[in-house]
């Protein structure tokens, strides 16, 4: 049971990441590879404030959100100059820079050693120390982020984002400043990613730069493509599947000599087949 609680907690955290990224990729048409970096900013800010400054979890998360949004504003001012593939490559550059900062600013981040002993959240004297209590805490956070994302995409602001995705030039003809809208959603998305980072740091009680490398960014993108672009339910579904499926394959009964390789093979094959026969994802509306 604690093992299942652990897996579901991770799925909830990555669902938050998936929903925040889907605001960019699915609803606005911006392929960003920088989300793992914003996840890392949130995680490191929370970890540093909790372990070195003695803050409590909730003020630390608030600071993480604000700082992540401030960084996203600066990065977004540059990314807004690019389109399509160049946008993705420029966002990838920021991800590489962020990991380099995490790894080399040793006086603050402890570099490759990482930050251990991160405390769990506490509210009104109750500490979410058990896996079950933290799972409930994560589910509440995931639901709140889901409701916020749904509000955004159903608002007039969200409709403009979807118009930009469908035809940015036509949106500009009607008087909308697409640069402003893309920058705004990029900043909001980064703030939501910081929430996931704060949860991850506090749950694992340890973080290091290896947690936020390119592979993690690709994992988040794969989750929203698998679940479905421009669909919040798809973001949650994709995160759950990508977290649970590799674990479920552990119980298939492959020979121990090749078990790890076979699990990776079957997992990869299922993803390839899905992309071939269902390229818009399980519940998505659009192809990437």
Report whether pLDDT(123) > 70.
Answer: yes
- 8 A C-beta contact, residue 29 and residue 154: no
| pLDDT greater than 80 at residue 262 | no
pTM of structure: 0.93
Q: What is the pLDDT of residue 163?
A: 94
SS3 for 127?
strand
- Tens of pLDDT, residues 14-72: 999 999 999 999 999 999 999 999 999 999 999 999 999 999 999 999 999 999 999 99
Provide the residue ranges of all domains of the chain, joining segments of one domain with +: 2-214
The token pair that represents 192 in the structure block: 């939501």
Q: Helix or strand or coil: residue 287?
A: coil
Who wins on pLDDT, 224 or 264? 224
Of 121-135, 195-209, 250-264, the range with the lowest mean pLDDT is: 250-264
> Nearest 10 degrees: CA dihedral of 72, 74, 78, 83?
20
Cβ contact 200:187 at 8 Å: no
pLDDT digits (tens, 9 = 90+) for 208-236: 999 898 888 888 988 898 898 999 999 99
């Amino acid at each position: 049971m604690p093992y299942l609680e652990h897996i579901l907690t991770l799925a909830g955290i990555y669902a938050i990441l998936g929903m925040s990224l889907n605001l960019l990729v699915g609803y606005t048409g911006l392929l960003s590879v920088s989300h793992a970096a914003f996840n890392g900013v949130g995680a490191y800010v929370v970890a540093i404030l909790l372990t070195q400054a003695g803050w409590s979890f909730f003020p630390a998360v608030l600071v993480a959100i604000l700082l992540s949004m401030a960084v996203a504003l600066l990065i977004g001012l540059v990314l807004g100059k690019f389109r399509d593939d160049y946008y993705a490559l420029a966002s990838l550059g920021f991800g590489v820079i962020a990991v380099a900062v995490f790894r080399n600013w040793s006086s603050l981040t402890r570099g490759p050693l990482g930050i251990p002993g991160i405390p769990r959240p506490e509210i009104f004297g109750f500490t979410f120390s058990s896996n079950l209590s933290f799972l409930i805490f994560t589910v509440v956070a995931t639901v709140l982020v889901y409701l916020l994302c749904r509000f955004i995409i159903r608002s007039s602001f969200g409709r403009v984002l979807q118009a930009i995705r469908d035809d940015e030039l036509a949106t500009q003809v009607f008087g909308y400043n697409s640069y402003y809208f893309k920058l705004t959603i990029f900043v909001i998305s980064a703030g939501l990613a910081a929430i996931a980072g704060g949860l991850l740091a506090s749950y694992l009680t340890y973080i290091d730069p290896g947690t936020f490398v390119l592979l993690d960014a690709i994992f988040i993108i794969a989750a929203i493509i698998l679940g479905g672009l421009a669909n919040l339910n798809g973001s949650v579904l994709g995160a759950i599947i990508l977290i649970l499926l590799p674990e479920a394959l552990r119980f298939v009964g492959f020979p121990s000599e090749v078990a790890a390789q076979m699990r990776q093979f079957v997992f990869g094959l299922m993803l390839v087949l899905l992309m071939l026969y269902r390229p818009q994802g399980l519940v998505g509306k659009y192809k990437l």
